[in-house]
Amino acid sequence: MSEEPTPQVFSNRWADAVGSDGAVPARDFCNCVAQRGSRPRRRVEFHSDRQDTTAPGWIRLLELVEEAAADGREVFKPLVELTAEQRRQVVTLPPTIAKLTSVKHLVLYGSNLVRIPPEIGAMTSLEEFTPYTSYRLHWFPYEITRCPKLERSTVSTRALYGNYKHRPPFPLLSAAAADARGVEDLDPGVWGAAAIRTCSVCDRPTEAVDLRQVWISLRTSGADVLPLLVNACSAACIDALPVPAEGYVRVPHTGGPGVDQPPAD
């Protein structure tokens, strides 16, 4: 009689990246990109969630960012410090992440985030980015290309706009220019953010400019091609964008279900 093969046991890579369970779910779910096989493609829109800056989860996150900036830590896993209820309250990161210039690995496993702020571009030591299983995070700011050492990422690519698995559409970007007052009080369901203060390309202030938005898909690390939102202050800044990644829309575009994407794999 032959011996039964010994089952192979795999370690849980993310065991220390998950916060504690609670009485309420730690995140919400959506079906923004669940359009496999649907014809015609339905229009998708940005998540319109606004960050509640009075929520205990947000206040605790601000404290954690300050602690990480003060002690110069290289690995930042803020969500493990929050309760399940608090994690659900956080839909973006604070602009103060710009202070995290020593962080080499940012872990946001299983978050309820719907957007990452452009200040991530100031995290110049960032080498690894792990927003894995953050299923409501469908896009990233162009400013992430300012992280010169970013070489590794773990992203749930099936949740991304334009992903090569089934090519869900991108949100149609607004054709209207935001005026000087508007860049500080925007509808995130239309613009992708509640405020757009600087140009993604040249970093100039966006006050009193005709704000222009485009999508571009770029390989920002060794593994992943990410859909990036560009907030540009001029046509010249859009013209200065790099060539998009092979196998994706080959020019910067304004999204919508009519964009001609390559076939899905």
DSSP 228: E
Number of helices (H), then strands (E), in the chain: 4, 7
Q: How far is CA 62 from CA 7, 66, 78, 93, 97, in A?
A: 44, 6, 10, 9, 9
pLDDT at 1: 47
In which band, very low, low, confident or very high, does the pLDDT at 109 lie, cut at 50, 70 and 90? very high
Distance between CA atoms of residues 228 and 135, nearest Å: 16
- pLDDT for 167-188, tens place per residue? 999 999 976 555 544 588 899 9
Indicate the pLDDT class of residue 164, thresholds 50, 70 and 90.
very high
> For the chain, what is the mean pLDDT?
89
> Is the previous residue joined to 25 through a cis bond, with omega within 30 degrees of 0?
no
C-alpha–C-alpha distance, residues 86 and 20, integer Å? 11
154 closest CA partner among 63, 222, 248: 222
How confident is the model at residue 144, as a pLDDT? 97
Written as six digits, the tokens of 87 are: 């994690």
Burial class (CB in 10 A: 0-12, 13-18, 19+), 112: buried
Share of the chain above pLDDT 70, in %: 86
Q: Is the pLDDT of residue 214 over 50?
A: yes
Span 3-9, average pLDDT: 53
pLDDT tens for 126-137 read 999 999 999 999
Q: 232 has which bridge partners?
A: 212
Where does the pLDDT of residue 9 fall: very low under 50, low under 70, confident under 90, or very high at 90 and above? very low
What confidence score (pLDDT) does residue 3 get?
Answer: 56
**What is the spatial distance between Cα 219 and Cα 161, in angstroms, rounded to a whole number?**
14
Residue 69, helix vs strand vs coil: helix
Question: What letter does residue 182 receive in the DSSP assignment?
Answer: G
- Residue % of the chain over a pLDDT of 90: 74
Sign of CA dihedral 117, 47, 161, 76: positive
DSSP for 95-126? GGGGG-TT-SEEE-TT---S---GGGGG-TT-
DSSP assigned state of 156:
-
Q: What is the pLDDT of residues 192-202, one digit of tens each?
A: 999 999 999 99
Say if residue 227's pLDDT is above 70: yes
Closest C-alpha among 207, 203, 214 to residue 259? 214
In the predicted structure, residue 22 carries a pLDDT above the cut 80: no
pLDDT classification of 17: cutoffs 50, 70, 90: low
Query: In this predicted structure, what is the pLDDT of residue 265?
Result: 79
* Residue 217 three-state SS: strand
Q: Which pLDDT does position 139 carry in this prediction?
A: 98
DSSP class of 201: T
Q: Give domain limits for the chain.
A: 16-30+41-239
pLDDT for 175 equals 64
Contact (Cβ atoms closer than 8 angstroms) between residue 161 and residue 169: yes
- DSSP letter for 253, please: B
